[in-house]
Structure formats: structure tokens, C-alpha cells
């Protein structure tokens, strides 16, 4: 007869649960930090009309954590500024859409009602592209720590 006795299971389970809670907390903080960085960089890069600043002031972030912290989501974008995509991607002959954003940008094509040749002045997606490698490295570090 072989007998196996495992001691300390309650403590091991508690340690695993504590580790999970801590990783969720650290991940949430990183998602929020990255959203703040994207928001700041987008605002810095956003063009401002001589008589305004509506587009820049509309840039904001929101961070959502689902039940039990299982899904973390941050959104950074403009609120109620219908012309934001036309500034980001340009209009008419001034359109410039990165290859990885073609599908996303296509939903705005032809929505201006008239064609003007405004050059693209990207501000939001470059902010994300700048933050993305930092975010991925930070998340790898968080998840690799014991």
C-alpha cells in the first residue's frame, strides 16, 4: 500500500488566491496607467483650431473592470466630436490611413457629406502605438513575477 500525505494545502490554496488578487490589482493599475499615458499623449498631439480646442478637450479615458476583476478594459477616445476621425485620417485626397486601421477607418468614409482635402493629423492612434510596447512589457513583468 502506498500512502501519500499532503500537508499545507489550505495555505497553498490561500497563497494562490492571494497571488491572483495581487496580479489582478497590479494589472488594473497598469491598464489605468497606460490609459492615462495614451490620453495625455493624444491631447499633446491633437491639433487645436485657432478658435477652439473642442477636440482636444473631448479626449478622455475610461477604465472598466468586470465582475471579479476578470476583464480589464480601457478606452481612450473623443466624446461627441463627430469630426474626430476626419482629423485623425484626413479627408478627400488628404486621407492617410495606416494599413492596420483600414477596416476601422472605412466606417467613416463618405460621412462628411462633402469632400474637402484636409490632411491627416493623427493624434489618437499614434498615442496608442507609442504606449503599446511599454504596456506589453509591463504586463509581461507583472505576470512573470512570483
pLDDT tens, residue by residue, 28-85: 899 999 999 999 999 999 999 877 899 999 999 998 877 666 678 899 999 889 899 9
Label residue 4 by pLDDT band (50, 70, 90): confident
* pTM for this prediction: 0.82
Percent share of the chain, pLDDT over 90: 43
2 found inside a domain? no
Q: Are 88 and 123 in contact (CB under 8 A)?
A: yes
Number of structural domains (the chain) is: 1
Q: Are 24 and 31 in contact (CB under 8 A)?
A: no
Q: Which residue has the cell 457629406?
A: 113
Q: Are 45 and 8 in contact (CB under 8 A)?
A: no
pLDDT tens, residue by residue, 103-126: 988 888 876 666 678 899 999 999
Q: What pLDDT is recorded for position 67?
A: 61
Mean pLDDT of 122-145: 93
4 found inside a domain? no
5 found inside a domain? no
Mean pLDDT of 74-102: 90
SS (H, E, C) 6-34: CCCHHHHHHHHHHHHHHHHHHHHHHHHHH
Q: Domain of 109?
A: 11-144
Amino acid at each position: 500500500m502506498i500512502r501519500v500525505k499532503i500537508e499545507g494545502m489550505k495555505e497553498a490554496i490561500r497563497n494562490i488566491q492571494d497571488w491572483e488578487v495581487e496580479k489582478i490589482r497590479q494589472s488594473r493599475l497598469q491598464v489605468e496607467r497606460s490609459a492615462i499615458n495614451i490620453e495625455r499623449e493624444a491631447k499633446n498631439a491633437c491639433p487645436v483650431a485657432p478658435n477652439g480646442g473642442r477636440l482636444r478637450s473631448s479626449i478622455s479615458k475610461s477604465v472598466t473592470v468586470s465582475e471579479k476583476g476578470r476583464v480589464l478594459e480601457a478606452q481612450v477616445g473623443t466624446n461627441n466630436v463627430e469630426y474626430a476621425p476626419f482629423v485623425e485620417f484626413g479627408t478627400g485626397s488628404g486621407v492617410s490611413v495606416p494599413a492596420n486601421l483600414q477596416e476601422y477607418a472605412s466606417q467613416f468614409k463618405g460621412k462628411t457629406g462633402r469632400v474637402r482635402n484636409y490632411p491627416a493629423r493623427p493624434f489618437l492612434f499614434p498615442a496608442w502605438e507609442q504606449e503599446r510596447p511599454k504596456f506589453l512589457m509591463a504586463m509581461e513583468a507583472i505576470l512573470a513575477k512570483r
